[in-house]
Structure 1
Amino acid sequence: MVADDNGTGLELEMPTKEQLSEWYAEVGITPDGMRRDINHLKNWMSRQPHLPHITDDVVYERFLFGCKNSLEGAKLKLEQYYTARATMPEYFANRDPLDEELREALKTVCYVVLPRLTSKGYRIIICKMFNHDITKFKPNLLFKGALMLSDMTRHKCQSNGVVIIFDLYGRTMAHVASVTFPMLRNVVHCIMSAFPEHMKGFHIVNASGYTNTLITLGKSLLKDKLRNRIHTHSKGVATLAEHISKDVLPAEYGGTYEHNMVKLRDFTYELLVRQRDWYLKEQSVKADLTKKVEGKKEERNIFGIEGSFRAIRID
């Protein structure tokens, strides 16, 4: 378990060995296959002059699982992940959880991790605003904190997928306007293209009239598979229980979990703080694009990455 050292007794639920075996079997991962593929990825990474030489097997294991046991998918994600770390310093540099500006920003609005996994092994994250003062809203730091949390939960406490609840209560046009297109583009790229997460659902609660219009427009531009994973709850939070068990959700969202969102926000921040040494060490692990060598066209597959091709399955 990843426990909270501040005496609250909170901890993140971890999957059992039986659960992990079941999840891995669902995507065709076997122990022998995992060892073989980790070695393959290590060798591949060592031949890429611009990519860091990662020796931690857990990194490769998580990328393989997140990419549904696709070697080429894992290579693509590893390439994009470490490139993003090099090209988006606003999210991947200066990742000190004790930074006062970051701490204050995450008190205002935060991606809060819920301790319990769902019956399917999904990790629930709630994006909630705790202070509506626009002068305290720092979207770049909000996104940085969210990506820091994603990195930590993936590496330290695995799940079978992520479900995000976006609570739009208190959001105004001023808040929306403060999120620039480059900010949004980069964070969406990280979540959808560079991070090996299984995004299992998006739930939107407390949306106003104009945000409902924007959500409807946005959904119309998405593919059916992703569009069907976005749920808007227009009559309060009660309908969340149709998708997420009440024992996972705090009372503010119609659940029975014993701790409220303020305590869960503080717990989430403590999780970041307790991994401070890890963040400070790994923030320098990124691509060196000055060393990137473009392969010959005939040596590259459709993703622009060399290596053996195994069919990619889409989650």
Structure 2
Amino acid sequence: MPARIPTMTHDHNFVPATPEQVETIRKQLGTDEEDIKKTIASLRDWLRMQPHLPDAIDDAHIERMYIHCKCSTEKVKKGLDAYFSMRNRYPEILMNRDPLGPDIKHTTKHMKFAVMPRLTKELYRVHIIGGIDPDPTWVSWPKHGKTASIAIEMMYFDDYSLGDVIIYDMTNLNAGHILRTDINIIRALEIGYKTAYCRRLKAFHILNADKIIDFVMKIVKSALSEKLQNRVHVHLPGSTTLFDHVPKEYLPDELGGTAGPFDKFAYEFIGRAEKKRYWFMEQDRYTSDESKRPPDNHYTDDMYGVAGSFKKLSVD
């Protein structure tokens, strides 16, 4: 029986996973239609029994969380708890997310986010950040973080994949940008990406990194787990080493690829987010009620560390 494709919204250029790709992804993770239906039903029952959590999430979203958690229901429970509780903890990036609002407009005027339309042969989704304004005075990490959280969340409408390949084109980036880095927002995005959104980072490519960035990355890498360190690749200006990892057909023209202009993909990403504007704004109503959290529920302690310590970041 062909795989049911979860409900998706997509533009003419965004290509959702085919039934065959969905089937392959499920097979690789040892699940099938029957298992997914049962799991969604049991996770819904669990969610309804949590006095502090709303039951405001659709089946397709739960299914994708299950896929990205390698079919671990325990990880999905932790993810669902984080999904609603992080909005209270990091409202500056997870609340008031209006794709037509000034925060998002500000960010997309000075940098571009794009999701490439086709899955790679390994069934990964390629994301690109670039087009950075060389004048660093615009940098606002809360606004940047808010836009990034919209980009991640959009994947729950459109995407079915085995993980993400993120490419950061650092052309125009200078010491002024680096000095404005907010480590707390980066930490929040890392927790959100891995725990609340249950995404799996397969590779992180830094392009056109000059020697300073290369040096900074050596320091940053020391905070990462060994597994994640091996997934971070730095490519100096003029090098073609990116193509050893990501074939040209999955990359925009500006990065030496053949998929089409970067601006078009960035414009489409914003267009898709704007179509979901009311959905994003409505999400502010759905947060955890910490006064009702059961005393034996320690998901948030695990997540942030009791004292919010900066632990080594790890990936599975």
Q: In the alignment, is residue 17 of structure 1 matched against residue 15 of structure 2?
A: no
Q: Distance in 2 between matches of 1:107 and 1:122?
A: 28
Tell me the residue number matched to 1:285: 286
Tell me the residue number matched to 2:235: 233
For residues 83-139 of structure 1, what are the alpha-carbon distances to aligned partners after superposition, in whole Å with 9 as ceiling and x for unaligned? 112211111111111113421321211322122221222111111134222222222
Question: Matches of residues 135-214 of structure 1 in structure 2 within 5 Å?
Answer: 135-214=137-216
Tell me the residue number matched to 2:306: none
Tell me the residue number matched to 2:31: 29
Q: Percent identity?
A: 30
Letter in 2 for 1:174: G
Which 4+ residue blocks in structure 1 deviate beyond 3 angstroms?
A: 1-4
Distance 1:79 1:101, change over 3 A: closer
Question: 1:220 offset after TM fit, Å?
Answer: 3.2
Q: Distance in 2 between matches of 1:209 and 1:133?
A: 19
For residues 234-275 of structure 1, what are the alpha-carbon distances to aligned partners after superposition, in whole Å with 9 as ceiling and x for unaligned? 2535221111121111121111112x2222222221111111
For residues 183-210 of structure 1, what are the alpha-carbon distances to aligned partners after superposition, in whole Å with 9 as ceiling and x for unaligned? 2221222123322112111001111212
Q: Distance in 1 between matches of 2:185 and 2:273?
A: 22
Q: Distance in 1 between matches of 2:167 and 2:30?
A: 29
Q: Distance in 2 between matches of 1:242 and 1:20?
A: 26
Q: Distance in 1 between matches of 2:53 and 2:20?
A: 34
Tell me the residue number matched to 2:77: 75
Indicate conservation of the 8 Å contact 1:249/1:255, yes or no. yes
Indicate conservation of the 8 Å contact 1:67/1:196, yes or no. yes
Letter in 2 for 1:186: A
Indicate conservation of the 8 Å contact 2:110/2:138, yes or no. yes
Question: 1:218 offset after TM fit, Å?
Answer: 2.3
Indicate conservation of the 8 Å contact 1:76/1:303, yes or no. no
SS of the residue 2:171 aligns to:
coil
Letter in 2 for 1:21: E
Q: In the alignment, is residue 271 of structure 1 matched against residue 272 of structure 2?
A: yes
Indicate conservation of the 8 Å contact 2:152/2:193, yes or no. no
Indicate conservation of the 8 Å contact 1:110/1:142, yes or no. no
Q: TM-score, normalised by structure 2?
A: 0.87
Provide structure 1 residue ranges, at least 5 long, that are not aligned to the other structure: 5-9, 305-313
Letter in 2 for 1:276: R
Indicate conservation of the 8 Å contact 1:161/1:198, yes or no. yes
Q: Distance in 2 between matches of 1:139 and 1:129?
A: 16
Distance 1:303 1:215, change over 3 A: closer
Question: 1:33 offset after TM fit, Å?
Answer: 1.3
Number of matched pairs: 297
Q: Distance in 1 between matches of 2:253 and 2:133?
A: 19
Tell me the residue number matched to 2:127: 125
Tell me the residue number matched to 1:45: 47
Provide structure 2 residue ranges, at least 5 long, that are not aligned to the other structure: 1-7, 304-314
Q: Distance in 2 between matches of 1:137 and 1:109?
A: 10
